[in-house]
Chains A and B, each alone.
Chain A
Amino acid sequence: MSALLEIVDVTKRFRGLTAVDNVSLSVESGEIYAVIGPNGAGKTTLFNLVAGAFAPDDGEIRFEGARIDRKAPEQICAAGIARTFQIVKPFPDLSVSDNVAIGAMLRAPDMARARAQGEDILRKLDLYNKRGQKAGSLTLPDRKRLEVARALATKPKLILLDEVMAGLRPTETDRMVAVLREINRADNLTIVMIEHVMRAVMALAGRVHVLHHGASIAEGKPDEVTRDPKVIESYLGMKAAH
């Protein structure tokens, strides 16, 4: 069986700076896959390439065997890849439930159904009690949850999570880990996550891919990768202590 998401020799340059340098990886259906690396390693750029925000300069990206590297973000979302933004992008003037309903309407026949689906997701992410609030008034942890809820509402086959644990307290991180694990198990949702919080990476990821200066330097099981000297060096020993 072929992989759900395949990234083959992808390169992206911005004015001479190579943000993503000949990266290849493949993610199997049902997997939880983490992309880690120091700041500026090109992780978010890689996500933007997969999500269609930019087109790669070289290489191919395939989803369920079909090329997606020239498609628009909305087409990629429709194909079944949802994403969150590292700097959260709620619709601030709309209510929490409206935010999620907008995600759900992609596959719901009408708004009533979209709302109902959205409310189920809000319950899962502990946002149901805040559904009437404006998204702009939420705290940062709640906005992170909303970002995930909205992406989940599009009923993706694969979700790209960009640092959704950042800024959460340890108990909140554990709660988010439990939610993601549950969604992964129950709905067979494939998860690709960029994450600095190693506690979450170790708890969730089956495989970890390490980027440094835009290039792949390691891939493997979390405990193997974190022992890899190249990886430790790339973090200058700082994050390896986690």
Chain B
Amino acid sequence: MFAFLTRRGAIALALLAAALLAAPFLVDRYILSIILLALLGAYLGQAWNILMGFCGLLSLGHAAYLGVGAYASAVLFVNYGIGPWAGVFVAIAAAIALAAAIGWLGFRFRIEGVYFALLTIAFAEIVRIGFDNWPFVGGAAGFFLPVSSATQHQWWNLRGGEVFFYYVALAMAAAALAAAAALRASKLGYALLAIREDPQAARALGVDVTRARFKALFISAALTSVGGVFTAFWTNNLFPAQVLEMSRSIDIILAPIVGGVGTLFGPIVGSFLLVPLGEALTDGLTALGVNAPGAKALVYGLLLMAIIAGTPSGLWPWLSRKLGLQERAE
């Protein structure tokens, strides 16, 4: 599955895995929460990357799948007592239904490139405004999962402490990496790459472009919605302005773009750079006595421009070349 890694690359991956597994025993809660965020970012980035990096479809509305998944599982749990292990399937179904609507419009009418991107924004905004004005899910005031000591250790209901959620996030990030690697090596994976490179040539070689695009979209939406389930049960509160906002979609895609679109390790590298960077900015600016709202995001924006100008195809391709971590370019 990871045969393209050099011996050195494989060792680095094994060391990383070991470090992440041991992290709860080595670092304090604050650092652990940052790693958890980075893992979640890597997971969501991986999901987005399947659509953009493998298939060439730019989605700027992935928050919709995240939010729909989060709300579906949370509402089922709170209002109907259905646990997340069942709710996750409903979450996936809801996200796929949404993706089917976008795909039907986009692929049937051959909406490509920037038009597809804007279509995804439009859908995501419709969903956000819908949730904002839907009393059943709390509207703009939000939806809350009860936190009580009685259910605190019902791990089967995705209830638990920070360390529990850390391991869930680690497992999800690892599973997404494995899934993306398996997909990449499969027939569907190659079909997607062919479509990304040249849809017309792909069709001439017998690839059913529309069907493959639907599959990629469904896989990406489904994975993202599972991230939404995690988000709901981890944070215990959902606001359309947080889980469904355009800025959330941007957050999801920053890591894979900065790390390297279309690569397996790009989303991980990007997330593990950007999340700590954001935290370091907060700490650094506070230490400097700068407390004003906006200062952090301003510097973050400048750094983002610098990174994207400096490493065009992302950090991972550059990093792996420098350190000799893989045999051939992914």
On A, residues with C-beta under 8 Å from B are: 51, 53, 72-74, 77-78, 82-83, 85, 89-95, 98, 101-103, 105-106, 110-111, 114, 132, 134, 150-151, 153-154
Contact = CB atoms under 8 A, between A and B. Distances in A.
Given A98-B190, A105-B187, A132-B328, A92 B197 contact: yes
B204 A102 contact: no
Interface stretch (B60-68, B112-120, B172-180, B206-214): B206-214
30 contacts: A51-B204, A72-B208, A73-B203, A74-B204, A74-B205, A74-B209, A77-B204, A77-B205, A78-B206, A82-B204, A89-B200, A89-B201, A89-B204, A90-B197, A90-B201, A91-B193, A92-B197, A94-B193, A98-B190, A101-B190, A102-B202, A102-B207, A105-B190, A106-B207, A111-B186, A111-B190, A114-B190, A134-B329, A154-B205, A154-B206
Interface residues on B, range: 20 to 34
A83 B205 CA distance: 8
Contacts, number: 76
Given A94-B197, A134-B329, A150 B205 contact: yes
B194 interface: yes
B185 interface: yes
Given A74-B209, A98-B193, A105-B190, 8 more contacts: A74-B203, A74-B206, A89-B198, A89-B200, A92-B197, A102-B190, A102-B207, A106-B207
Nearest to B329: A134
Contacts of A93: 197
Nearest to A73: B203
Given A74-B209, A95-B328, A111-B186, A102 B203 contact: no
Contacts of B191: 102, 105
Contacts of A111: 185-187, 190
A85 B205 CA distance: 11
A83 B201 CA distance: 9
Nearest to A112: B185
Contacts of A94: 193-194, 197
Nearest to B186: A111
B328 A103 contact: no
B317 to A, nearest CB: 11
